[in-house]
A and B are shown apart, each in its own frame.
Chain A
Amino acid sequence: MLSRARSCRSRRSWKTSSSKPRAESPTTMAVITYRDALNMALREEMHRDDRVFLMGEEVAVYQGAYKVSKGLLQEFGEMRVVDTPITELGFAGVGVGAAMAGLRPIIEFMTWNFALLALDQVVNAAAKMLYMSGGQFPMPMVFRGPNGAALQLGAQHSQAWESWLAHIPGLKVVAPATPYDAKGLLKAAIRDDNPVCFLEGEMLYNTKGEVPDDDYIVPIGKAELKREGEHVTLVSHGKMVLVALQAADQMAKEGITCDVVDLRTIRPMDVDAITASVKKTSRCVVVEEGWEVCGVGAQVVDYVQRHCFDYLDAPVLRVHQADAPMPYTKSLEKAAKPDLPKTIAAIRQVLYLD
């Protein structure tokens, strides 16, 4: 299994290295990629605080498997941009130790699928260290990397892990959808004294958006109403926010307007933003990348039923991945993924339009 994972990693690195050149130096409110927004956040925070360092597989010489760390080795040197062997449990543990020693490590997992190997450090060490040490050891560290399915990477590499991580007390879980939020939230995560799992949408790296050159923070734990409407609330995060927005565009042609709530942070979840919207619309659809059972959407539904029961005019519906390992076959993969047609169908169903 390990060898399969490695071969897959090198394959992805190969693909990524052939991607097109990107904007080198962002300017004020430039339109840049999600990838470059993350790069900006890392660079700015490493300048701001010399305790911050980046560690992971291929982050230094190779400039990052997804080129998020491009230029950082040259700028900050090999003491602060550290290449590691393929040892997720090991370097995640080094990160925990470094945080205990007073540094602010950023651990890059080449993808969150590989972080499973390091879960003992993430879940048992990082998440619980502050509690089990009686408050002696804060954990100012970030675990970050791409999350969710891309295209035809097979069952082991096409998984969205936010509900697993959000289940653990002690962890904060962040999943930005836009370049703007990616920069602001990564900066917030680096400055946070708790371990933050930062889930970057694997399919979002090349998406573009306006990103200020300024030093701004998007606070962890605050959702954003990405679009306002009155007939139905779409709750989403990460990559699926784009799908929700597309669905809202399409429904608007029929005169149906959607509130699109981008959670941005899965834990702590912004219950107020969700419930305020659902109280307005009385209907809710949750769109997420992960599986249905015990998914993030299940948590959203729980909040909605507890806080908005008397406001609901229809059951809350969920759009999610099929309850099966992600197929490799292209047509089956498409069938298994949550997408625009499934979201539209759920919206129509929750509005009793069909």
Chain B
Amino acid sequence: MATKVMMEALSPTMEEGRLVKWVKNVGDAVKTGDTIGEVETDKAIMELVARGDGVLRAQLITEGTTAAVGAVIGVIAAADEDIASLTGAAASAPAAEAPPAAPAAAPAAAPVAAPAAAPVAVDAAAPSGPVRSSPLARRMAAEKGVNIGAIHGSGPGGRVIRRDIEGAAAAAPVGTAATPAAAAPAVAPVATASSKAAPTAVATAMQIDGEFKDVALTQMRKTIARRLSESIGPVPTFYLTSEIDMTKVGQLREQMVANGDQYKVSVNDIIIKAVAIALTRHPECNAHWMTDHIRYFSAAHVGMAVATDDGLIVPVIRDAQLKGLGQIGKEARELAKKARERKLQPAEFTGGTFSVSNLGMFGIDQFTAIINPPEAAILAVGATETKPVWENGQFVPRQRMRVTLSCDHRVIDGAVGAKFLQTLRGLLEAPMMMLF
């Protein structure tokens, strides 16, 4: 019995994926669970595993090609099984025979070479000719940005119909279904102002021959763009800024560092801890806007925006209110590392209840962050600077940090946000109070 290798939904928001690499070649024996390929989702590079035993008989898309979720991209079958019906015309022409011959084929005079990473999504299993699809499916595909040509339809004669588009667009998360928080709309790469501050490797490596260069959108960049627009558009946001005296936090950190490596924590870790405590005291700020209701959380799952070479992602420190600074610091370092290597699993970047975005390390003293929907607020943290403060009749140098809370006014009213900030400031100005 042949098994179709499908482009799977490897993240909650994934609509299509790019096959980075075939790990198994045509002719290789595979068992259920074997990694047969690597797929770039909208957030990370994930392993694609075999769902059946046999021999990888066909690779229906080439490496670097994008396919919609649900599209058949390969076939696993017994060595002698007839798989013509699954591969269609492509059966005798496995993808390996058709590498993109881009350099040779490109006209020498072309001023702007089309990036190799701008493939057209294909489903080699689909019959040739026009895509059979219902008008509704075409409209929905256009609205959702789904490549209808890559979907294998479930209607008569392979016609793509509504349920196929819905399946492709709202594919269920693979690894997070069991966690309650995952039931909330996907929380994905954060939308923060720091997106502008993270020059990507692509950008630095860019060599512009003509007046400009077009670079294909990565899956991640598409998601960031879509979700940013979702946030800044419909969310009625207001901003509250407060300046916090971080002198005691600095002293605390110095003491901890002096006590050895196991106590190594960053200012950001202390801020996350303080945020988590403040959220438990102000649960009205620890909420999701669910369109027809508001969901309040008892646990503080604090997302921290991490800039990677490709864009932003927000790994989540779960139950931060229960964890010690050492634990938070350890997790934060691990998550940030995985994020930069694009190794985060969906469970590690979904289900956040509140986010923190820190651009202090870039010398930004104050900024506003864009809410990561459906979360109700995000805290933008600026740099800690030494400033003269008038105290007891004289100027004294103090470590000061400005934070800005962006609030979704549908969930959080001004005074509610202000009280949260007041508590946060109290905790950071007297960090010993976090013990209580």
Contact = CB atoms under 8 A, between A and B. Distances in A.
Interface of A: 282, 309-314, 352
B251 to A, nearest CB: 63
Interface residues of B, number: 11
A291 B137 CA distance: 31
A312 B156 contact: no
B386 interface: no
B154 interface: yes
A312 B135 contact: yes
19 contacts: A282-B134, A282-B136, A282-B162, A309-B135, A310-B136, A310-B138, A311-B135, A311-B136, A312-B134, A312-B136, A313-B134, A313-B135, A313-B136, A313-B137, A314-B134, A314-B161, A352-B154, A352-B155, A352-B161
Nearest to B134: A313
Contact of A352 (B136, B137, B138, B156): B156
A311 B139 contact: yes
A229 to B, nearest CB: 16
Interface in B77-117: none
A282 B137 CA distance: 10
A282 B165 CA distance: 14
Given A282-B162, A352-B161, A310 B154 contact: no
Q: Please indicate which of the listed interface residues A282, A310, A312, A313 has the most CB atoms of chain B within 10 Å of its own CB.
A: A313
B156 A313 contact: no
Contacts of A309: 135
Interface in B161-192: 161-162
A352 B138 CA distance: 18
Given A313-B137, A352-B161, 16 more contacts: A282-B134, A282-B136, A310-B138, A310-B139, A311-B135, A311-B136, A311-B139, A312-B134, A312-B135, A312-B136, A313-B136, A313-B161, A313-B162, A314-B134, A352-B155, A352-B156
Contacts of A314: 134, 155, 161
Contacts of A352: 154-156, 161
A282 B156 CA distance: 16
B91 to A, nearest CB: 27
A312 B137 CA distance: 8
Contacts of A313: 134-137, 161-162
Contacts of B139: 310-311
Contacts of B135: 309-313
Nearest to A305: B135
A314 B154 CA distance: 12
B138 to A, nearest CB: 8
A122 B173 CA distance: 65
B269 to A, nearest CB: 50
Contacts of B136: 282, 310-313
Contacts of A312: 134-136
A312 B161 CA distance: 9
B156 to A, nearest CB: 7
A49 to B, nearest CB: 49
Nearest to B137: A313
Nearest to A315: B134
Interface string B329-343: 000000000000000
Interface string B135-155: 111110000000000000011
Nearest to B165: A313
Task: Give 9 closest A-B pairs by Cβ, nearest first.
Answer: A313-B136, A310-B139, A313-B134, A313-B162, A312-B135, A313-B161, A282-B136, A310-B135, A309-B135
A207 B335 CA distance: 72
B381 to A, nearest CB: 46
A312 B160 CA distance: 12
A339 to B, nearest CB: 24
B48 to A, nearest CB: 29
B132 to A, nearest CB: 12
A352 B155 CA distance: 7
A167 B78 CA distance: 62
Nearest to B154: A352
A312 B155 CA distance: 13
